Amino acid sequence: MIYHITTKQQWKSAQEKGFFDETSLHTEGFIHNCTDAQVAGVLERFYKGKTDLLLMHIDETKLDAELKYELAPSVNELFPHVFGNINLNAVVKITEI
């Protein structure tokens, strides 16, 4: 299982489009995700003080797009990156943060 932090509005938009994408897909070529153990750190570093957040639980075996674990040198950890849109049937659960 991998995870992606998003907003309620972004999730609503994904449901309307039929897939989830993110600005980083167009600027960096992939969608940033994290493992269960990395969620707290990602929230602390990038989402501190933000509200209206959701956690997407993604079954990586159901992804249509390629998944690679790549090193984030700033924290010296491997993070899961999805190289394409996230198909909604791969999102097995949504929880509020």
pTM over 0.85: yes
Ordered by where they begin, the domains of the chain are: 2-96 (3.20.170.20)
What gap in Å lies between CA 81 and CA 60, rounded to an integer?
11
Distance of CA 94 to the CA centre of its chain: 11
SS3 of 4-39: the string is EEEEHHHHHHHHHHCEECCHHHHHCCCEECECHHHH
Supply the pLDDT for residue 11: 97
Supply the pLDDT for residue 85: 98
Supply the pLDDT for residue 66: 98
Distance of CA 88 to the CA centre of its chain: 12
Supply the pLDDT for residue 2: 98
Return the number of other C-beta atoms located less than 10 Å from residue 28's C-beta. Answer: 12
Supply the pLDDT for residue 71: 96
Mean pLDDT of the 93-97 span: 97
Tell me the per-residue pLDDT of 26-68, one tens digit each, with 9 for 90 and over: 999 999 999 999 999 999 999 999 999 999 999 999 999 999 9
